[in-house]
Amino acid sequence: MWRIQGNWIGKCHKTGPYGSQCFLLSRSIEKLAMATEKLPVVHSQQKHGYIAIDLSDTEKVKQHIKPLLQEKNISILVNNSGGPEAGPIFQAEPEAFLRAFQQHILSSHLLTQSIIPGMKKSQYGRIINIISTSVKIPLKGLGVSNTIRGAMANWSKTLAGELAPFGITVNNVLPGATATERLEEIIQNKSKKTLKDKSEVVEEMENEIPMGRFGKPEEIAAAVGFLASHEASYITGINLPVDGGRTGSL
């Protein structure tokens, strides 16, 4: 079972029918170590690893990915970076857009460029981007995020068409409100701005979801796991909402 949280990026190398060799990228070396220890190991060749890096530093992204690719070809790439700061778009400084563009699109682009040669050679690959339901309907108070997520979706769709002839799929998972640290921050900010109790904010947010609850990280991970599997080999270029039915569009 995949568990995706924060701004981790998992890169998996297939080691056979018994599992994958996973590498995690994130800023927090403590969280990386904890997450890596929890990954299952079912045979001696399966060895997981991690690299502590800030995805907004594209030069370091380039430097750190090269040694990894010298050892293994990457079969599955999951791009998942933390959302930009909240706020109305008309109040956003130009630098906020540049930071978000670099952290989300440029870092994902560099990582993807690095692994494509190996995927083409093996005629197999899975690239999955964790974005947001704002790709379909912009979310209030998330101006910079709405902008960058939309750009990310179009980057992904373009890439899907270019890589399809090589057996490489590119898809997006769009999480709704999911019980993570990011959602807790959003709830706290809404509570402060509206002067409402946190429990009231939570209730209002849950009432907007047809299923009446927040999603679990494991439920997002299950969607990623399917898109990463052989069973999803004829699915590419899609935006898959995992949001309890909240998004009001097809």
Q: Give the domain extent around 40.
A: 9-178+215-242
Question: Distances in Å between the alpha carbon of 197 and those of 115, 176, 186, 192, 203?
Answer: 47, 22, 13, 8, 10
For residues 98 and 120, the answer to whether their CB atoms sit within 8 Å is no
Q: Is 197 domain-assigned?
A: no
Q: Is 146 domain-assigned?
A: yes
Q: Is 183 domain-assigned?
A: no
pLDDT the model gives residue 18: 53
**Which two structure tokens, joined as six digits, stand for 71?**
């050892």
What digits encode the pLDDT tens for the residues 119-161? Answer: 999 999 999 999 999 999 999 989 999 999 999 999 999 999 9
Q: Is 185 domain-assigned?
A: no
| CA-based torsion, 128, 133, 138, 141: positive or negative | negative
In this prediction, the residues of the chain whose per-residue pLDDT falls under 70 are 1-19, 70-71
Question: Distances in Å between the alpha carbon of 191 and those of 145, 196, 197, 201, 203?
Answer: 20, 5, 6, 6, 12
- Expressed in percent and rounded to 5, the helix, strand and coil fractions of the chain are 50, 15, 35
Domain count, the chain: 1
What digits encode the pLDDT tens for the residues 98-122? Answer: 999 999 999 999 999 999 999 999 9
Q: Is 194 domain-assigned?
A: no
| CA-based torsion, 196, 197, 202, 203: positive or negative | negative
Q: Is 4 domain-assigned?
A: no
pLDDT the model gives residue 186: 86
Q: Is 237 domain-assigned?
A: yes
How many CB atoms lie under 10 A from the CB of residue 217? 17
CATH code where residue 66 lies: 3.40.50.720
Q: Is 207 domain-assigned?
A: no
The residues pairing with 173 across neighbouring beta strands, listed in sequence order, are: 130, 240
